[in-house]
């Protein structure tokens, strides 16, 4: 019985191990991420009271250098736990605190999307916000 439980737990954790073990792209990030991953067509689950609002960067805001400050307001609702941060559709990290820094951002126009996520780190809720910014 114990072996069956261990096998089930391991099967749930194995897909997340590379993401949790790799060096991240954000300072202030609560959970390190693997190198950026493209966001697939995600089936967002009901928000159940969860919300996220990006405070910084503001739409159209310009930054010099590869670091972009990140600040947001998170309402977890019934199931939310943290947010996934995507830049131009690439997963850049996970945050449970509401401040951090995006790093390694190349010059150009970019879109940041934050999605509220449950404890399992895989279920993304229909609680998102987007902002466009420019790095010079």
How far CA 98 is from CA of 26, 40, 71, in Å, comes to: 13, 25, 6
Lookup: tokens for 12? 């749930």
Phi and psi (nearest 5°) for 126? -80, 60
CATH H superfamily, domain 2-135: Immunoglobulins (2.60.40.10)
pTM of the model: 0.73
Helix residue spans in the chain (DSSP H): 2-13, 17-21
Reduce the DSSP state of residue 71 to 3 states and report it. strand
* β strands within 24-123, DSSP E: 26-27, 37-38, 51-56, 61-63, 68-75, 82-87, 90-95, 99-102, 108-117
- Domain boundaries, given as residue ranges, for the chain: 2-135
Show pLDDT as tens, one digit a residue, over the chain (136 residues).
444 443 443 344 444 433 433 334 444 555 444 444 545 557 899 999 999 999 999 999 999 999 999 999 999 999 999 999 999 999 988 898 999 988 889 999 999 999 999 999 999 999 999 999 999 9
Contact by Cβ (8 Å): 83, 52? yes
Q: What's the CA gap between 10 and 26, in Å, rounded?
A: 27
């Amino acid at each position: 019985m114990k072996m069956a439980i261990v096998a089930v737990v391991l099967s749930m954790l194995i897909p997340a191990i590379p993401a949790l073990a790799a060096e991240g792209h954000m300072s202030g990030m609560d959970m390190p991420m693997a190198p950026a991953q493209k966001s697939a067509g995600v089936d967002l689950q009901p928000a159940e009271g969860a919300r996220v609002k990006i405070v910084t960067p503001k739409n159209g805001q310009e930054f010099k250098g590869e670091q972009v400050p990140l600040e947001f307001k998170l309402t977890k609702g019934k199931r939310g736990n943290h947010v996934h941060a995507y830049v131009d559709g690439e997963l850049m990290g996970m945050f449970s605190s509401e401040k951090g820094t995006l790093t390694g951002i190349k010059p150009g126009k970019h879109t940041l999307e934050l999605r509220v996520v449950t404890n399992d780190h895989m279920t993304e809720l229909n609680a998102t916000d987007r902002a466009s910014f420019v790095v010079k």
